[in-house]
Structure 1
Amino acid sequence: MNNTKPGMLIFEDVNGDGTIDASDRTALGNPNPPFIYGFNLGGSYKDFDLNIFCQGVAGNKIYNENRALMTVVRNYDKDFYDHRWTGEGTSNTYPSVVYSAGDARTPNSFFVESGSYFRIKSIQFGYSLPKSALSKLHIEKLRLYLNAENPVTFFKYNGFSPEVSSSNPLMTGVNNGAYPLSSVYSFGINVTF
């Protein structure tokens, strides 16, 4: 390839014609997960209750355009900077920072990552005061609870969140700045008179 330097990405001659060009393109994964799952667990013991809702996807791929744009409009992330190729024998994980030269920013498998994740969507822990303590207040039920929404997501993707979406169907599975879900923690009281 033009302007090739040590430490740059290596492109494969997929069709074996001795030239790396548009005819060497190949499918690198499907942005649509073949497996989508979710489950809800709940239970109670005496005056305590617990409810956990989890969901996730498996088997899809994401094109991490954030990394592809690092040298043009965005900064390098710490993982890339710490593990980049800086000379012979230094790294086989990430290329040198010169990888943006020449044709190296052409979409390629280096930027395709697993989109699989497992997320705890919500956890709610509650305590209902005993009815004997509420009878004098003319309250039938009083329940206190702590709730956490999106407290943790497990994934291997090199970005904020592997859950990416786009209104453009041609950009399905491409992360070019998706904002991650926020975690929300709350406390509440349910009162029944």
Structure 2
Amino acid sequence: MKKLFGLLIVLVFHTNVWAKADDAPSCPNYLQTTKQKLHSSQTVNLCELTQGKPVLIVNTASNCGYTPHFKQLEAIHKKYQKQGLVVIGFPSDDFFQEEDDEQETAKICYINYGVTFTMLSTSAVRGSDANDVFQYLSDKATSPKWNFYKYLVDGKGKTVQAFSPRVSPDSDEFIQALEATLAESTLSNG
């Protein structure tokens, strides 16, 4: 009888573990990667950072007319991070407006604009050399036509909305889309 009871306990425990594993949100393939942080030896696992959370992904450049968007992006990061939003910046020189030295890029982001959200090492965001994240975003929405394209991705990593740099991060259009994405993610995770 003790053996039967022990076996029953083991089965119940394993069933609960399997159920929890099945309930856990899976990470989309394009986020199953580790990237180098901007001007740092540290890396960030994008799957761990974003799993089950809505994400705002932006291709950035330090010497663009839209570079002041960093202030608005930082304000969004601070306002919505408690609601689960993850903001990730991808510096790129695809439009020839990024510093050649990552130290200078970091200075512009962190010192000039006070960025605290995740900034990654400089990489390509369009064409055949685009990093895996932007290859996916391009397939789901559109490739960036200029710096500071904004991509809102739902908490499951599947629905992607793209916004050109002409749509300011603090515009009504963008904030409404962002808040709708946050609300949808809250409903699907809650």
TM-score category (smaller protein): under 0.3
- Give 1 or 2: higher strand fraction: 1
Greater radius of gyration (CA): 1
Structure 2-normalised TM-score? Answer: 0.21
